[in-house]
Amino acid sequence: MTLTPLPAQPADVPWPTLEWPQGAPPAAIGKERFGELLATAFRGEAVGATHALLIVQGGRLVFERYGEGFGPGATYPSWSKAKSITQALVGLLVGDGRLDIHAPAAAPEWSAPGDPRAAITLDQLLRMSSGLKFVEDYVPGHTSDVIEMLFGAGKADVAHYAASQPLEHAPGSFWSYASGTTNIVARLAGEAAGGDLNRFIRERLFEPLGMRSPIPKFDAAGTFIGSSYCFASARDFARFGLLYLRDGVWEGRRLLPEGWVDYARTPTFQQPGVTEGRYGAHWWLDIAGEGSFSANGYDGQYTVLVPDLDLILVRHGATPLEKKDALKAWVGEVVACFR
């Protein structure tokens, strides 16, 4: 398939390593509709409470607004946006030659002779196609592996909890979004990084981008809880988004391997009947139109990249599950104002 080309940083726009260069929304923006959408976000109930909204276009910060009690210095929960950060860490390690996404993903839980889980590759994990059983349910009282992993019996060693699940489908044959999958990936990344992923993530990702606010969380076993926990400011989430919108290049230096961003946004096979939307490799696809890709998190956390508009939208807030679809539609409408 043909992917939408990724835009380069304009020659006259400085990189936001120190500060975001400022701009203004384009004159042609649908101002009346944009104003209505802002009212929906900050004063209405349709999409829940919005705590932060930030829009970057052409490498410049063109819009920024915060809810009462929040601001540029606040850190916001990533929830599953951390999955896309985990994908970046894997890319750095692939570039170093320390990981191979097409090789079996070695896990001690799968080491017994004949264990069919030993065939699972890192690529299949990144594409949520491992075949492992995992119930991703956020409703209290329901059977939920994600709640048990993060808050119950699995919280001390999230990767072990996830990797101990049985195989339900042949690896690569069935798509199923699962937070446990990411924590297996994060453990592999930690091992490849020499056991100190916290130092690696700061030296190789956060510091080069000028991301000074991130707070990644680790479990008692030392694994980055890459499924769910990396707090950061909205401006720093936008910096991370710009790295991907710029094809893994920052200040003229390639950080992610060539082709890694395209790998992230290449659609994964999904069996008929999937309703969650299209998926790449630890990135979601198409929330703001064909060609867009995004890091999505529980409760309405979004970093949305729109290559054809050279645009990034970051939204943080508290959106109940029953308003999730309304928020997705809202994101698409905000981006449409810039078309």
pLDDT digits (tens, 9 = 90+) for 189-222: 999 999 999 999 999 999 999 999 999 999 999 9
- Is the model's pLDDT at 30 over the cut of 90? no
Q: Are 25 and 63 in contact (CB under 8 A)?
A: yes
C-alpha–C-alpha distance, residues 180 and 269, integer Å: 19
**Mean pLDDT (whole number) for 143-164:** 96
- Is the model's pLDDT at 140 over the cut of 80? no
Confidence of residue 267 (pLDDT cuts 50, 70, 90): very high
Q: What is the 8-class DSSP label of residue 100?
A: -
3-state SS assignment for residue 7? coil
pLDDT digits (tens, 9 = 90+) for 277-313: 999 999 999 999 999 999 999 999 999 999 999 999 9
Residue 108: per-residue pLDDT: 97
Helical residues (DSSP H) of the chain, grouped into ranges:
31-42, 81-95, 122-126, 145-151, 158-163, 179-192, 197-201, 207-209, 234-245, 260-264, 324-336
Residue 145: per-residue pLDDT: 95
C-alpha–C-alpha distance, residues 189 and 183, integer Å: 10
Residue 164: per-residue pLDDT: 98
Q: Are 334 and 325 in contact (CB under 8 A)?
A: no
* Assigned CATH topology for domain 66-306: Beta-lactamase (3.40.710)
C-alpha–C-alpha distance, residues 166 and 161, integer Å: 11
Computed over its alpha carbons, how large is the radius of gyration of the chain? 19
Give, to the nearest 10 degrees, the angle between helix 81-95 and helix 234-245: 50
Residues of the chain with pLDDT > 90: what percent?
95
Which one-letter amino acid corresponds to residue 92? L
Of 306, 284, 311, give the one whose Cα is nearest residue 297: 284
**Mean pLDDT (whole number) for 225-247:** 98
Q: Which two tokens stand for residue 90?
A: 């894997």
Confidence of residue 105 (pLDDT cuts 50, 70, 90): very high
For the chain, which residues make up each domain, given as ranges? 66-306
pLDDT digits (tens, 9 = 90+) for 215-226: 999 999 999 999
Q: What is the 8-class DSSP label of residue 142?
A: S
Of 197, 236, 195, give the one whose Cα is nearest residue 81: 236
**Mean pLDDT (whole number) for 132-159:** 93
C-alpha–C-alpha distance, residues 125 and 174, integer Å: 11
- Is the model's pLDDT at 138 over the cut of 90? no
C-alpha–C-alpha distance, residues 161 and 332, integer Å: 36
Which residues 6+ apart lie within 8 Å of 27 measured at CB? Answer: none
pTM equals 0.97
User: How do beta strands 311-318 and 249-250 pair?
Assistant: unpaired
